[in-house]
């Protein structure tokens, strides 16, 4: 009798293992199916894109600039040319208000490339 129970247990374990294996195989097949469907829809590049890390978003922070209260120049550095009487502004606001770029803080090539 004990042998029979032991045998039944062994059978049960074998069935369980076989079942798990079968489920895994089915999952693998399904994954392959899904992948080939996606490739059919979006082309081979899709698989490559899937493994690329997500693109990091570039956040453009509005640059704060220093504007002389006396002059009409936009400075990158508050201590430019010994300036003491200045106010801070957003760069785009300063440009809109008609201020021009200081040639020391913003060399001509810089302004050309960063209008
Ligand atoms: Zn300057």
Distance 114 CA to ligand 1 centre (A): 16
Distance 12 CA to ligand 1 centre (A): 83
Domain boundaries, the chain: 2-50, 64-113
87-97: pLDDT as tens digits: 999 999 999 99
56-76: pLDDT as tens digits: 776 667 789 999 888 889 999
Is pTM beyond 0.75? Reply is no
Distance 69 CA to ligand 1 centre (A): 13
Distance CA 78, CA 84 (A): 8
Distance 58 CA to ligand 1 centre (A): 27
Distance CA 15, CA 34 (A): 28
């Amino acid at each position: 009798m004990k042998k029979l129970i032991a045998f039944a247990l062994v059978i049960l374990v074998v069935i369980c293992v076989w079942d798990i294996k079968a489920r895994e195989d089915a999952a693998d097949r399904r994954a392959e199916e899904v992948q080939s469907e996606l490739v059919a829809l979006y082309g081979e590049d899709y698989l490559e894109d899937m493994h690329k890390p997500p693109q990091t978003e570039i956040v453009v922070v509005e640059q704060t600039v220093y504007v002389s209260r006396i002059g009409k120049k936009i400075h990158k550095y508050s201590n430019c040319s010994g300036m003491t009487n200045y106010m801070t502004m957003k760069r785009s606001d300063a440009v809109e208000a008609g201020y021009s770029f200081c040639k020391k803080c913003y060399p001509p090539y810089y302004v050309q490339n960063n209008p």
